[in-house]
């Protein structure tokens, strides 16, 4: 997969700004924020982005002037303007000045996420799999055989094993490889958004739906739809999904037109779906519809021959500015014997940290730091509603541990991802809301913490 879309939100209302940033993060994108146009220009000097979303009317430099400044410096940078319902003329003027699109207040979170999806870069062609271990080679051979059919495939495995990579490999090996592969993370999207994002909606279907939008099924027509972490889907929505899979057609929310579908569906889960069925948390009929062919991705500890090839691949990715950087033999040995409870994701994070910590041309064992990955890998859970923090979370990060040790883990996780809250929370096995609460508590106690984007 390519890098996540990088978005700059420019809004002087701090509550709305945080809600926008939370929604964008829940969609899987990276986000930075600015309080006005002048602040945005300063941030652009430090951090290039792929998209700017700016309010029109702000104290200080407003959105229209910011648009002109951005166009003078970066004529091709996508720029989306937010304007109030009674100020459509501002949106029209902004489009004439070079704005790429606009959002009309009030708009639902689904509308924002659907708009962001249109700005996502095209996926990289093909998938470069690392499969040196016999266990992973068996997975690849099975995926290659399954690729020649249109049967629904269920890819299972622990969190961080690379289930999405295997799904993309299957798509790349299929006759649909030249058609789109569209992915949606059922754990990252709040329940009230997921239905409209899957099935699409017509203009006026709900407040803020100012224009019709196709859903993920329509976007994937002729290709493949990846339903990532399907076990997190609400039971009611599972019933609607089952009907779409059975009938091979979809109706947008608020519409009455039936849209035929030619979509190959791949679902992933880090849970035991048979156990979820027995517990009443997953529909049995949907389980059998999805698991026509199950494909289990082994944990990294069960494919040890892949550890060092994966580490070398990640080093190439993260040490590009220092192309001569290499692992010492002792560092490779340290990587090879680690238990990797966080699987491939933990290994990637570890290599990225090592590439930053190394001071010479070689990564030594002292540069291999496992501290930020000590929290046990947690099953993915749905993100909170994107309205910003409210209640204080109850769950501790490391129960019984000292606050200072907890702070060190959080600082290390934030440093590894340039302050991105969502990514840091994933590494720590907590929710973004919990992370915000922890940071606020540390500041109250006078403990130093880095700024979180």
pLDDT tens by residue, 334-361? 999 998 988 998 998 889 888 877 878 8
Which of these ranges, 28-42, 232-246, 342-356, 415-429, has the smallest mean pLDDT? 415-429
Which residue would you say has higher pLDDT here, 352 or 247? Answer: 247
- Domain at 6-118, CATH homologous superfamily: Response regulator (3.40.50.2300)
CA 315 vs CA 130, 286, 352: distances in Å: 14, 40, 7
Confidence of residue 2 (pLDDT cuts 50, 70, 90): very low
Q: pLDDT higher for 270 or 126?
A: 270
Q: Taking 80 as the threshold, does the pLDDT of residue 281 lie above it?
A: yes
Query: Under DSSP, is residue 8 helix (H, G, I), strand (E, B) or coil?
Result: strand
Mean pLDDT over 263-291 rounds to: 94
Model pLDDT, residue 422:
75
Cα(118)–Cα(116) distance, integer angstroms:
5
How far is Cα 111 from Cα 10, in angstroms, rounded to an integer?
A: 18
The reported pLDDT for the residue numbered 379 is 35
| Bond from prior residue into 178 cis (ω within 30 degrees of 0) | no
Whole-number pLDDT of residue 54 = 94
Average pLDDT, the chain: 82
**48, 32 Cβ separation under 8 angstroms:** no
Q: Which of 185-189, 228-232, 298-302, 308-312 has the lowest mean pLDDT?
A: 185-189
d(CA 414, CA 442): 14
Rounded average pLDDT over 103-125: 75
Supply the pLDDT for residue 375. 39
For residue 127, pLDDT beyond 70: no
Q: Taking the C-alpha atoms of 311, 316, 319 and 324 in order, what is their torsion angle to the nearest 10 degrees?
A: 110
Q: What is the pTM of this model?
A: 0.66
- Judge whether 195 and 253 are in contact, CB under 8 Å: yes
Mean pLDDT (whole number) for 39-57: 91
Question: Sorting pLDDT into bands at 50, 70 and 90, what band is 377?
Answer: very low
* Pair 433, 384: CB distance under 8 Å: yes
Per-residue confidence (pLDDT) for residue 129, from 0 to 100 = 84
Instruction: Spell out the residues 6+ positions from residue 55 whose beta carbon is closer than 8 angstroms to its own.
Output: 10, 11, 12, 13, 62, 63, 81, 82, 83
What span, in angstroms and rounded, lies between the C-alpha atoms of 304 and 332? 12
Domain boundaries, the chain: 6-118, 134-296, 300-373
> Which CATH superfamily does the domain covering 134-296 fall into?
P-loop containing nucleotide triphosphate hydrolases (3.40.50.300)
Q: And the tokens for 280? A: 């009443």
State what percent of residues in the chain have pLDDT above 90.
42
Least confident of 254-263, 272-281, 354-363, 411-420: 411-420
Whether residue 233 is predicted with pLDDT greater than 80 in this model: the reply is yes
Same-fold call for 6-118 versus 134-296: yes
126 confidence band (pLDDT: 50, 70, 90): low
135 near 298, Cβ under 8 Å?
yes
Name the phi and psi angles at 20, rounded to 5.
-60, -45
Instruction: Please give the pLDDT value at position 440.
Output: 65
The residues, any chain, with a CB within 8 Å of residue 422's CB and separated by 6 or more, are 25, 26, 432
Q: Is the dihedral of CA 106, 111, 113, 119 positive or negative?
A: negative
Q: Is the dihedral of CA 114, 192, 380, 426 positive or negative?
A: positive
- Distance, in Å, from the CA atom of 449 to the CA atom of 441, rounded to the nearest integer, reads 10
Q: Is the pLDDT of residue 77 over 80?
A: yes
- Please choose, from the candidates 434, 398, 428, 431, the residue with its C-alpha nearest in 3D space to the C-alpha of residue 413: 428
pLDDT at residue number 399: 36
pLDDT of residue 7: 94
pLDDT value of position 452: 52
Residue pair 106/75 in contact (Cβ under 8 Å)? The answer is no
Given a cut of 90, whether residue 245 has pLDDT beyond it is yes
Task: Assign 308 a pLDDT band (cuts: 50, 70, 90).
Answer: very high
CB atoms within 10 A of CB 172: 20
Topology of domain 300-373, CATH: Helicase, Ruva Protein; domain 3 (1.10.8)
Return the pLDDT at 136. Answer: 95
In this structure, of 214-218, 238-242, 378-382, the range with the lowest mean pLDDT score is 378-382
Distance CA 248, CA 22 (A): 34
pLDDT at 321 over 70: no
What is the DSSP annotation of 197-264? HHHEE-TTSSTT--S-EE-HHHHTTTSEEEEETGGGS-HHHHHHHHHHHHHTEEE-BT---EEE---E
Over residues 181-223, the pLDDT tens digits come to 999 888 877 777 788 889 988 888 877 677 788 889 999 999 9
Query: For position 293, what pLDDT does the model report?
Result: 81
């Amino acid at each position: 997969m390519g890098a996540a879309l990088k978005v700059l939100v420019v809004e002087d209302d701090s509550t709305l700004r945080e809600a926008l940033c939370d929604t964008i993060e829940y969609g899987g994108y990276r986000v930075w924020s600015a309080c006005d146009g002048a602040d945005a220009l300063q941030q652009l000097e430090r951090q290039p982005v792929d998209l700017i979303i700016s309010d029109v009317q702000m104290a200080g430099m407003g959105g229209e002037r910011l648009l002109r400044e951005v166009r003078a410096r970066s004529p091709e940078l996508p720029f989306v303007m937010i304007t109030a319902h009674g100020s459509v003329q501002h949106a029209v003027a902004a489009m004439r000045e070079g704005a790429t699109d606009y959002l009309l207040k009030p708009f639902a979170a689904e509308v924002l996420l659907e708009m962001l999806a249109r700005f996502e870069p095209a996926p990289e062609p093909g998938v470069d799999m690392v499969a040196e271990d016999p266990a992973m080679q068996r997975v690849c051979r099975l995926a290659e055989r399954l690729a020649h059919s249109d049967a629904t495939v269920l890819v299972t495995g622990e969190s961080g094993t690379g289930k999405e990579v295997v799904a993309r490999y299957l798509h790349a090996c299929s006759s649909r490889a030249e058609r789109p592969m569209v992915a949606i993370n059922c754990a990252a999207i709040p329940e009230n958004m997921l239905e409209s994002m899957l099935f699409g909606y017509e203009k006026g279907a709900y407040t803020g739906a100012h224009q019709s939008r196709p859903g993920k099924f329509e976007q994937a027509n002729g290709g493949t739809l990846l339903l990532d972490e399907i076990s997190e889907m609400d039971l009611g929505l599972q019933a609607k999904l089952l009907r779409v899979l059975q009938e091979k057609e979809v109706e947008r929310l608020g519409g009455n037109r039936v849209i035929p579908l030619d979509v190959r569906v791949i679902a992933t889960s880090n849970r035991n779906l048979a156990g979820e069925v027995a517990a009443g948390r997953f529909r049995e009929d949907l389980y059998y519809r999805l698991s026509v062919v199950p494909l289990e991705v082994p944990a990294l500890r069960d494919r040890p021959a892949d550890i060092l090839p994966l580490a070398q691949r990640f080093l190439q990715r993260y040490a590009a500015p220092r192309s001569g950087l290499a692992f010492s033999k002792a560092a490779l040995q340290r990587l090879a014997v680690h238990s990797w409870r966080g699987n491939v994701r933990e290994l990637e994070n570890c290599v990225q940290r090592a590439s930053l910590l190394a001071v010479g041309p070689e990564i030594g064992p002292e540069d291999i730091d496992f501290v930020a990955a000590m929290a046990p890998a947690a099953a993915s859970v749905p993100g909170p509603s994107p309205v910003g923090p409210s209640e204080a979370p109850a769950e501790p990060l490391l129960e019984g541990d000292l606050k200072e040790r907890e702070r060190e883990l959080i600082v290390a996780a934030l440093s590894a991802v340039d302050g991105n809250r969502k990514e840091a929370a994933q590494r720590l096995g907590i929710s973004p809301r919990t992370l915000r609460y922890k940071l606020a508590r540390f500041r109250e106690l006078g403990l130093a913490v880095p700024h979180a984007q």
